[in-house]
Each structure stands twice: as C-alpha cells, then as structure tokens.
C-alpha cells in the first residue's frame, strides 16, 4: 500500500503539487491523468524518492520514502518520463548494473536479468548498444529496469509517449500483463489509454487531485448518458419534421456537411427532369444545397415542400445513386432506451431508413475537460465535445 499525505511541492513561488493525498491499494492498475504540467511527473518523482517534497509524506508499505529510503525504494520500480539509459552500454550490461545497485544477491543477478529481458521481449536486442535501439525498445529497456528485483509497485511515467501505434499496443499489453503480478501506476495525458488499461483513475489538474475513481464510475457520475448521433436516409427538412414531433427529443442539432457546395444558387431553379439526366455526383450537389438554403430561409412550413420538389424525383430509380443522408445529434429526454425505440418507429413510419444510431458515450475525455477546466460547466464541456467531433 502506498499512502501519500498532504504532499506539496513548491518551486519558489510556483506550486507544482498542492496538498495531494491518496492511497494506492495493492493489485490494481492505476492511472494518473492530467494535462501537461499538471504535476503528474512531479508527484511520481516525489513518490519514488527522486525529488524531495516541500511538505507532506509518502509511505511505501509503511516505509517513509525519505527516512527509510533504501527499504522504500526496494519496493518500487520506476520508469521516468525519459528512460534514463546509458546509451554506450548494451541492455544486458545496463540491467546488470541496475540489478547490482538494487542490491540483488550476486547469484540471482544473471537469472533476474534474463527474466526481465524475456518478460519485456528484449532477447534479440540484449547485446546491441542502447544507442542503436529504437525508441520502443529503449522504452522496454526502461521498463525492464523497473522490473528488476520484482518490486511490488511499478510506476511508469508516460510509458507510451512517442511510440508508433503498434508499439503502443505492445507496451499496453505488457502493462496489462504486469498488472496481474504487480501494482502498476502509470501516468498519461492520453485518455483512451487510461480508459483502456486502468482500473482506477486519479485526475490531477493544477497540482490538485480532482478525482479518484474507476473510469466507469466517473462516466456515470459526471455525465448522463442521454445523447446519440443518428444518421437517417432523408434530407434535413424531413428529419426536422420527424424530430420536431417527438416528445422524447428535448433538443437536437443537425450537422452540416463540411463539403462546400460549388453549385450556384440558380441550380435549384433548373427543372428536376434536367437534373435527373445528369451524372450521379452532379445530382448530389443540388440535393445538398437545397437544405442549406431552406435553413437560411427560416420558413419551416414551406421548407419540406421545396425540398421535396428539389430532391424527390418522380422516378425513384433515377434518384437511386444519390439518396440524401442527414446526420443529427439528439439529446433525449427520459429513459434513453424507450426514447430510442420511439425514434426508431417514428422514422420507420415516415419511411426513412435509420442508417445509424450511436449513443455518445460520456467518455473520460469530457470528464477530463470538465474537471481540469478552471470553471467547469456543462455548456463549456458540450462545446468542447462538438469541437472534438468536428
């Protein structure tokens, strides 16, 4: 068990860590989350004894990290943000030195070094100079160093930063494996990573601990799961008519297509028959410009008629290559499941195919933004969210 009590670190006037207290229980993977400069690395450096705290104390299994540094440090394996490697050595030589410095018995060193090399899958690279290894392998050497001596706690500071996607997956798998035998604490500013691996999340912002819970609990408590994105095979006006009539829909926004409509305004005036003869991509353009125009007109009653004229041709076969597709973000009222059902049947009755209905998960990203912002408010959070989707 690691207990951190009223930890504060000041650099002159700047407070990097401000009165943080928490307890790490054995046998889980913990995630330290926070924007850059929030105090994650500082907290970790203090927890591992690399840095002295201004006030407060850290106890590892009851050993104070400053008073009983030797015993406390023997319980911890730490990978700092930049893996501290001697680049002129091979991983094996390097690990041998770390094992010796960690005070492992002489006879056990060779076996222990071999064990961590296999565990971190470094076997092929064990005799190359670290200078010549790729970043992913260097990271592994760093992790191997932390594993030496089989410490109870493994603390990893941003273990996947700067790695390619494949390496990230490999390192994550490795961390998951480690989580079965050790208590792992990792820091990250990548939310999906913490969501994917960690069983508990500590969110740090501006040097303060703002949340400490499981990802699921955080999602549940901080954002209600009542929004969804739907994609329907109809134009915007039809969609608006259908959604306007629903009591389960408390509000919605129709998403604009990002593609600019190159067709001039005159296009809507041309005869539908003429347009039906045009090539498929050309037919798509007026279909999209029409709704955009109806929206600026702000005449909801006349809009459907115009749209119907412009989009729905008499002969369905002619229009088949380019059906209009509209996307909307809907906020539901009441029970989400019941509301989904109602919406589904409403579209079915209007003979509009619903192509997609995706609930917006109140993911850690929103929670994170909400918590780490200076003045958290629902409106701001939703603004950020639409920014992310766009």
Partner 1 sequence: MKAVFKHEMSLYYHGLLAYVFGAFLLEFIGIGAMMYNINSAVANFEYALGTFCIGFVALVPILTMRVMAEEKRQKTDQLLSLLPITGTDIVLGKYFAMAVVFVAPMIVACVYPFIFSFYGDVYLPTSYGALFAFICLGLALTAIGMFISSLTESQGMAAGLCVVVMLFCYYSADLADYISSTAFNVAALLVLSALLALIVRRLTRSDVAGLIILVLCVAAVAITWLVSPTSLETLLPDLMNQLSLFERFYTFVNGVFDVTAIIYYISVAAFFLFLCVQSWEKKRYNG
252 touches 339 (CB < 8 A): no
Q: Measure the CA–CA gap between 31 and 186, rounded to whole angstroms.
A: 5
* Nearest distance, CB of residue 130 and partner 1, angstroms: 11
**For partner 1, which residue of 21, 23, 55, 87 counts as binding (CB under 8 A)?**
87
Work out the angle at residue 140's Cα, subtended by the Cα atoms of residues 77 and 201, and round it to the nearest 5 degrees. 55
Comparing CB distances to partner 1, the nearer of 48 and 289 is: 48
> Is 91 one of the binding residues for partner 1 (CB under 8 A)?
no
* Nearest distance, CB of residue 146 and partner 1, angstroms: 9
Using CB under 8 A, which of the segments 69-77, 194-202, 267-275, 334-342 binds partner 1?
69-77
> Is 31 one of the binding residues for partner 1 (CB under 8 A)?
no
Q: What is the three-class DSSP state of 343?
A: helix
User: CA-CA distances (angstroms) from residue 291 to 226, 329, 347?
Assistant: 27, 17, 19
380 touches 248 (CB < 8 A): no
**For partner 1, which residue of 62, 84, 162, 300 counts as binding (CB under 8 A)?**
84
Residues making up the chain, counted from first to last: 390
Q: Please report where in the chains the tokens 């996947």 appear, as a residue.
A: 160
Comparing CB distances to partner 1, the nearer of 92 and 370 is: 92
Q: Which of residues 132-171 bind partner 1 (CB under 8 A)?
A: 145
Lateral strand order in the sheet of 29-33: 76-79, 153-157, 183-188, 29-33, 200-205, 208-213
Q: Which of residues 95-134 bind partner 1 (CB under 8 A)?
A: 97-98, 100-103
User: Number of C-alpha atoms within 13 angstroms, CB side, residue 230?
Assistant: 28
> Is 182 one of the binding residues for partner 1 (CB under 8 A)?
no
> Is 294 one of the binding residues for partner 1 (CB under 8 A)?
no
> Is 73 one of the binding residues for partner 1 (CB under 8 A)?
yes
Q: Measure the CA–CA gap between 251 and 348, rounded to whole angstroms.
A: 20
**For partner 1, which residue of 1, 21, 82, 386 counts as binding (CB under 8 A)?**
82
Using CB under 8 A, which of the segments 46-54, 112-120, 246-254, 305-313 binds partner 1?
46-54
Q: Measure the CA–CA gap between 72 and 164, rounded to whole angstroms.
A: 34
Task: Find the Cα–Cα–Cα–Cα dihedral 385, 386, 387, 390, rounded to 10°.
Answer: 130
Using CB under 8 A, which of the segments 80-88, 283-291, 358-366, 372-380 binds partner 1?
80-88
Comparing CB distances to partner 1, the nearer of 14 and 390 is: 14
Using CB under 8 A, which of the segments 42-50, 241-249, 295-303, 317-325 binds partner 1?
42-50
Compute CA 197 distance to the chain's CA centroid, rounded to the nearest angstrom: 11
Closest alpha carbon to 142 in 102, 103, 95, 180: 95
Residue 262, both tokens = 């190159």
Comparing CB distances to partner 1, the nearer of 83 and 291 is: 83
* Nearest distance, CB of residue 82 and partner 1, angstroms: 5
> Is 67 one of the binding residues for partner 1 (CB under 8 A)?
no
> Is 320 one of the binding residues for partner 1 (CB under 8 A)?
no
Q: What is the three-class DSSP state of 58?
A: strand
Comparing CB distances to partner 1, the nearer of 102 and 172 is: 102
Please give the size of the binding site for partner 1, defined by CB under 8 A: 31
Q: Using CB under 8 A, list all residues that contact partner 1.
A: 11, 42, 45, 48-52, 69-71, 73-74, 76, 78, 80, 82, 84-89, 93, 97-98, 100-103, 145
């Amino acid at each position: 068990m690691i207990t951190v009590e009223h930890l504060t670190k000041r650099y002159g006037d700047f407070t990097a860590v401000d009165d943080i207290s928490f307890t790490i229980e054995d046998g889980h993977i913990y995630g330290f989350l926070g924007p850059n400069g929030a105090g994650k690395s500082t907290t970790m450096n203090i927890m591992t004894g690399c840095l002295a705290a201004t006030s407060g104390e850290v106890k590892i299994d009851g050993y104070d990290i400053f008073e009983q540094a030797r015993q406390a440090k023997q319980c911890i394996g730490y990978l700092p943000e930049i893996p501290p490697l001697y680049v002129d050595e091979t991983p094996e030589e390097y690990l041998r030195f770390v094992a010796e410095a960690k005070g492992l018995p002489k006879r056990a060193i060779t076996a222990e070094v071999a064990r961590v090399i296999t565990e971190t899958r470094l076997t092929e690279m064990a005799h190359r100079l670290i200078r010549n290894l790729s970043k992913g392998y260097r990271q592994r050497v760093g992790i191997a160093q932390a594993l030496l001596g089989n410490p109870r706690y493994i603390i990893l500071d941003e273990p996947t930063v700067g790695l390619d996607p494949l390496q990230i997956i490999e390192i994550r798998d490795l961390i998951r494996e480690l989580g079965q035998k050790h208590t792992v604490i990792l820091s990250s500013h990548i939310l999906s990573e913490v969501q994917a691996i960690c069983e508990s999340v500590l969110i740090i912002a501006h040097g303060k601990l703002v949340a400490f819970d499981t990802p699921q609990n955080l999602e549940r408590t901080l954002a209600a799961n009542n929004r969804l994105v739907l994609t329907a095979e109809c134009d915007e006006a039809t969609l608006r008519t259908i959604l306007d009539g629903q009591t389960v829909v408390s509000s919605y926004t129709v998403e604009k297509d990002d593609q600019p409509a190159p067709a001039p305004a005159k296009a809507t005036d041309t005869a539908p028959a003429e347009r039906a003869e045009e090539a498929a991509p050309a037919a798509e353009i007026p279909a999209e410009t029409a709704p955009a125009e109806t929206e600026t007109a702000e005449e909801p009653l006349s809009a459907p008629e115009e749209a119907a004229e412009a989009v729905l041709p008499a002969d369905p076969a002619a229009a088949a290559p380019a059906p209009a597709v509209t996307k909307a973000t809907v906020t539901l009222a009441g029970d989400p499941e019941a509301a989904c059902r109602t919406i589904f049947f409403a579209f079915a009755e209007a003979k509009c195919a619903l192509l997609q209905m995706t609930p917006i998960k109140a993911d850690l990203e929103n929670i994170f933004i909400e918590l780490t912002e200076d003045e958290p408010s629902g409106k701001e959070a939703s603004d950020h969210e639409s920014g992310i989707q766009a």
